[in-house]
Amino acid sequence: AGDGGEFTYAETQSMSNRIARALLKAGLGDGSPIAVLSPNDTNAEVALLGALRAGCAWCNINLRAAVHDNIEVLRRDRCRVLFVHSTVAELAPGFQDGIPELELVLCIDSDETPYPSVEHWSRSEPDGFLDHPIAEDGIGMLGSTGGTTGAPKIAKQSNTFLPMNLLAWRLC
């Protein structure tokens, strides 16, 4: 999974439930667009899982893409939360300046950035099972097309389509 270390299923469930609860408590969930800017890292996967448990919509961006392209995609997606890895946290101010709706930046792996760590931000939330219904027809993912015919377009995928898409990626 990457450099974030290994987590058991129980640890992953506990951490992602706390993240989901903290997002919901902050009024974020049920279609709220979020993004993860990180190299391959287990902490990124846990943050994404927590956001999906809260019903947030994942804005898929590519760390290797030009920063201005990622900012433009997230601006058009109206991204509200950005989870960043400490190795790219210095890019976050550009995202904050370029995305008016961005209200929260969280660092997924460190307390040593100007942004609150996910661990500390969500620490006070319970880690037990979260029974939060997710609308099947709600938006689960906001991706962008490659832009081969002009500016990249936003592609919306439902909560029903997202698990099938993730399973297909896993099988490839």
pLDDT in tens, 150-171: 776 778 888 887 677 667 766 7
Structure-token match 């550009």, residue found = 94
pTM: 0.90
Q: What Å distances lie between residue 112 and 86, 94, 115, 149, CA to CA?
A: 8, 19, 8, 41
DSSP character string of 74-142: HHHHT--EEEE-GGGGGGHHHHHHH-TT--EEEESS-SSSSS-BHHHHHTTS--S-------TTSEEEE
pLDDT in tens, 109-151: 999 999 999 999 999 999 999 999 988 888 888 877 766 777 7
Give which of 40, 56, 44, 36 is closest to 15, Cα–Cα. Answer: 44
Q: What Å distances lie between residue 110 and 51, 84, 87, CA to CA?
A: 19, 10, 10
pLDDT score recorded for residue 77: 93
- What percentage of the chain carries pLDDT values higher than 90? 67
User: What tokens were used for 102?
Assistant: 């961005």
Decide which of 158 and 3 is more confident: 158
DSSP state of 65: S
